[in-house]
Amino acid sequence: MDMESKKPYMMVTIIQVIYTIMFLISKAVFNGGMNTFVFVFYRQAFATIFLAPLAFFFERKSAPPLSFVTFIKIFMLSLFGVTMSLDLNGIALSYTSATLAAATTASLPAITFFLALLFGMERLKVMSIQGTAKLVGITVCMGGVITLALYKGPLLKLPLCHHLYHGQEHLHRNDVSDGSTSWLKGCFLMIASNILWGLWLVLQGRVLKLYPSKLYFTTLHCLLSSIQSFVIAIAFERDISAWKLGWNLRLVAVIYCGFIVTGVAYYLQSWVIEKRGPVFLSMFTPLSLVFTLLSSAILLCEIISLGSIVGGLLLIIGLYCVLWGKSRERKNSGVGDKIDLQKENDVVCNEVKVVIS
């Protein structure tokens, strides 16, 4: 394998590392007391600052006029698919762990497929092998989410953080004895966040047909989300001191999520999709779960439970069943496959561009 053929594998690995750092650094600032709503506002504001000059420079002449109806549709997409999804995700992350966030994100392709099925945008031929694989995949993914939420099992200790585990293990067992209310609440919110995210993925393709200027579309999403998240944040957090960033990890976190995740990760994902297609990119999504599982245990000293590992494995298995089924359908589609793949690449490029913002 020459260097050119290795590049897609290197890029997808870098992408998953970027997401791993995002999960870890977000969890760290929430542990440090940063308000989740304030964090989402700053993240979207920094993303807008990053994207606005690019949109003005590259697409100011080619951007079509924006009608009021299209603006309202983009506003609603931004409200539910970006602002509320990120806010719910932030609250859930403060209740649970970076590992759970990575695990539910790994199941997003299956969630999106299930929603597309409900909206009649996907077909499921149960009598075919590929249809059965997709159905099994969705079922296994749901089993993985239920396992993450309801089963913890034995605690797995890493020697590197052994001196911190005594106190944390005591707290952990107290949580279990109390019914793990916060964990269950966090799991429910995380699932709700990903359903909104998946719903946005299914619906935003239609809006992009009305307003095909991708960079302007993304920038407008970030701008509207910044305004929406500011209103929500100011309603829940009136203390001025909670809004101060300073030269600390909070500033690093919002800059990283606004610039690196929105800018670098988008570019790399678009490049990978163009070279190898969306299925290739999706197949490496579970890497972020593996990286986050190990990193959160070492760097954040999070306790890894057997339930987290089992649930994560079920999510990965379910994801690959869905991807395998879709891959078989694409191979069986014959001559029209290349056209369909190009259309799918275009749609997924648009999805990736706004999702990570």
CA pair distance 243, 46, nearest whole angstrom: 14
How many C-beta atoms surround the C-beta of residue 233 within 10 A? 21
Instruction: Using the predicted structure, report yes or no on whether residue 65 has a pLDDT greater than 50.
Output: yes
Sequence-distant (≥ 6) Cβ neighbours of residue 169 within 8 angstroms: 155, 157, 303
Residue ranges per domain, the chain?
3-355
pLDDT in tens, 182-211: 778 888 888 888 888 888 877 777 787 888
Confidence of residue 334 (pLDDT cuts 50, 70, 90): low
Confidence of residue 339 (pLDDT cuts 50, 70, 90): very low
Q: Please give the model's pTM, rounded to 2 decimal places.
A: 0.75
Dihedral (CA of 272, 311, 256, 203) sign: positive
Q: Which of 267, 208, 234, 226 is nearest to 49 (CA)?
A: 226
- What per-residue confidence (pLDDT) applies to 12? 85
Instruction: Give the lowest-confidence range in 52-61, 245-254, 320-329.
Output: 320-329
Q: At what angle do helices 3-31 and 98-106 cross, to 10 degrees?
A: 140
How many C-beta atoms surround the C-beta of residue 126 within 10 A? 8
CA pair distance 157, 144, nearest whole angstrom: 22
- What per-residue confidence (pLDDT) applies to 324? 81
CA pair distance 80, 87, nearest whole angstrom: 10
Confidence of residue 333 (pLDDT cuts 50, 70, 90): low
CA pair distance 159, 165, nearest whole angstrom: 9
Sequence-distant (≥ 6) Cβ neighbours of residue 58 within 8 angstroms: 215
CB-facing half-sphere around the CA of 339: CA atoms within 13 A: 4
Sequence-distant (≥ 6) Cβ neighbours of residue 350 within 8 angstroms: 204, 205, 208, 214, 217
CA pair distance 338, 98, nearest whole angstrom: 38
- What per-residue confidence (pLDDT) applies to 335? 40
Is the separation of the CB atoms in 30 and 242 below 8 Å? Answer: no
pLDDT in tens, 97-128: 777 777 777 777 777 777 777 777 666 676 77
CA pair distance 264, 267, nearest whole angstrom: 5
- What per-residue confidence (pLDDT) applies to 27? 85
Confidence of residue 227 (pLDDT cuts 50, 70, 90): very high
Write out the two tokens for 210. 């009305």
pLDDT in tens, 248-277: 888 999 999 888 887 777 677 767 766 776
